[in-house]
Amino acid sequence: MTLDEILDNIGPLDISAMEQSRKRWNSIAKPLHSLGKLEEHIIRIAGITGDAEVLIDKKALLVMCADNGVVEEGVTQTGQEVTAIVAENFLSYNTSSAIMCKKAGVDLFPVDIGMAKKTRVPDYKIAYGTKNIARGPAMTRQEAERAILTGIKLVQEKKEAGYQILATGEMGIGNTTTSSAVSSVLLGEMPERMTGRGAGLTREGMERKLGVIKRAIERNRPFAADTLDVLSKVGGFDIAGLAGVFLGGAYCRLPVVIDGFISAAAALSAYKLCPVAKEYMIAAHVSKEPGMQRILDELGMEAPLSCDMCLGEGSGAVAYLPVLDMAAEVYRKMSTFSDNKIEDYEEYDDR
């Protein structure tokens, strides 16, 4: 199927399943709505899958690994070679998110969607890194579309393998620069509002990074109303691939958890391509990167965790999965008011 055909086949949530889920929560012997956003997310998952039982036992983290030509401009503290080193470390469970995955019972799948060198990471490579956005487009429009379709394909594979929820992550030196550029254009915001220090920059480095983003936008003139144009001109293969993961979740009716700023920029891109796709996303945490909250506001979401994390790799999304697991356990196993011969709580609206 083409990308347009897939987008045309993304429909609304299952309202009947959501209502069943809401009634189940309200029947459980505890104060109404007392688990807050956790209840909302379980209800949303029921609507996504069309099943009020809500099973999220089999979980996976998809990590899109890609290099960004803009690193040539000195916008990062480390060199491009770090992308491949960390990507290889995912395979030996020797990264922060990999260790977290092991503890949380989440299967980890790193993906080479565009690294500058070959590694042992499974190869879905669109190209050997993007070009330098300060000097021209990051990629062609066709490459951007291929990256999105690759993300969709990966979700289809995981759905067929029985996975019930996906978390999103990325690895790519320079990708806070591309994420800031993409989100600035899509939201019509000044880069200053959407740009942070990434993995750690001096004041001088931060000024250089902002200047590069402004120069990239001015040189490439991405058209904000055309998301593929924006991704191809100032984005990255990791962002486009993750946008595909979010769209694939909506197409396959599989919940997908947003991680931090880069993941959120991809979620924003997916939303701009298909507005209903946001209903299939779950926000995990508010990244410390300044543009994160602005993206969540655009998506109409509130994230449950606020830990000042800005690590990436899917770490925030993985951190939230055990919390969501506990909520699902309460939802399925706790006795009801009726079981305990207690009169149901009544809902009052005193506003």
Which residues are marked as active site? 313
Contact 251, 155 (CB under 8 A): yes
Backbone conformation region of residue 190, classed left if phi is above 0, alpha if psi is from -120 to 50, else beta: beta
Q: How many CA atoms lie within 13 A of 254 on its CB side?
A: 30
Q: Cα dihedral angle (88, 91, 161, 313), rounded to 10 degrees?
A: -60
CA–CA gap between residue 62 and residue 242 (Å, rounded) = 9
Record the tokens describing residue 186, joined without a space.
Answer: 């899509």
- In the numeric block, the tokens 């993007």 are attached to 130
Contact 43, 21 (CB under 8 A): yes
Angle at CA of residue 211, ends 210 and 216, nearest 5° = 100
Sequential DSSP letters for 25-41: HHHBSS-TTTTHHHHHH
Beta strand residue intervals within the chain, DSSP E: 59-66, 106-114, 165-171, 256-258, 281-283
Contact 79, 71 (CB under 8 A): yes
The strands making up 106-114's β-sheet, listed across from edge to edge, are 106-114, 59-66, 165-171, 256-258, 281-283
CA–CA gap between residue 128 and residue 126 (Å, rounded) = 7
CA–CA gap between residue 48 and residue 255 (Å, rounded) = 6
In the DSSP assignment, the letter for residue 276 is G
